[in-house]
Amino acid sequence: KNEVEQSPQNLTAQEGEFITINCSYSVGISALHWLQQHPGGGIVSLFMLSSGKKKHGRLIATINIQEKHSSLHITASHPRDSAVYICAASEYGNKLVFGAGTILRVKS
Partner 1 sequence: DAGVIQSPRHEVTEMGQEVTLRCKPISGHDYLFWYRQTMMRGLELLIYFNNNVPIDDSGMPEDRFSAKMPNASFSTLKIQPSEPRDSAVYFCASSTGKGSGRNSPLHFGNGTRLTVT
User: According to the binding rule CB under 8 A, does residue 7 interact with partner 1?
Assistant: no
The single-letter DSSP state of residue 3 is S
Binder of partner 1 out of 26, 45, 51, 64 (CB under 8 A) = 45
Residue 67 Cβ vs partner 1, minimum distance, rounded to whole Å: 20
Q: Which of residues 22-41 bind partner 1 (CB under 8 A)?
A: 30-31, 33, 35, 41
Q: Which is nearer to partner 1, 82 or 84 (CB)?
A: 84
Contact predicate 35/41, CB 8 Å? no
Contact predicate 106/77, CB 8 Å? yes
User: According to the binding rule CB under 8 A, does residue 57 interact with partner 1?
Assistant: no
Q: Which is nearer to partner 1, 78 or 95 (CB)?
A: 95
Distance of alpha carbon 86 from alpha carbon 74, whole angstroms: 14
Exposure string for 31-57, b = 16+ CB within 10 A, e = fewer: bbbbbbeeeeeeeeebbebeeeeeeee
The residues binding partner 1 (CB under 8 A) are 30-31, 33, 35, 41-45, 48, 50, 86, 88, 90, 92-96, 98-101
